[in-house]
Amino acid sequence: MEEMMVLIGFLGFFAMVFGIWYLRSRENMALIDRGMNPRDVNSRPAPYKSLKVGLLLLGSGLGLAVAYFITQYVLHDYENPALWFAFIGIGGGLGLIASYKVEKKELLDKNG
């Protein structure tokens, strides 16, 4: 059974790498057919990328801190990993929502 799992894992990894390569080459060929340079399209500037990453990490960190304080001082349950992952997800999601709101406000101020 273990040999079968290793074989399936290897085949799955190979299929994933081949699929990514195949889809990327198809996308590049479609861009060339439209008369566009694939290198120009893939190198678009992302002005809010650092804001988004920063707020995501900030939210995840705050989620970890809240999970720590809840498990230590409220629940006294030190072996509950589901709570930790839940608060990481909640904090990261709140960070991304904050990033969206900042980007949307900036976009509306530019166009408005």
Tens-place pLDDT, residues 51-103 = 888 888 898 889 888 888 888 888 877 677 888 888 889 988 898 898 888 88
- Reduced to 3 states (helix: H, G, I; strand: E, B; else coil), residue 45 is coil
Q: pLDDT-based confidence at 9, cuts 50/70/90?
A: very high
pTM of the model: 0.55
- Residues 26, 32, 36, 42, CA torsion sign: positive
Name every residue whose Cβ is closer than 8 Å to that of residue 48 and which is 6 or more positions away in sequence: 99, 102, 103, 106
Name residue, tokens 């889809």.
Answer: 23
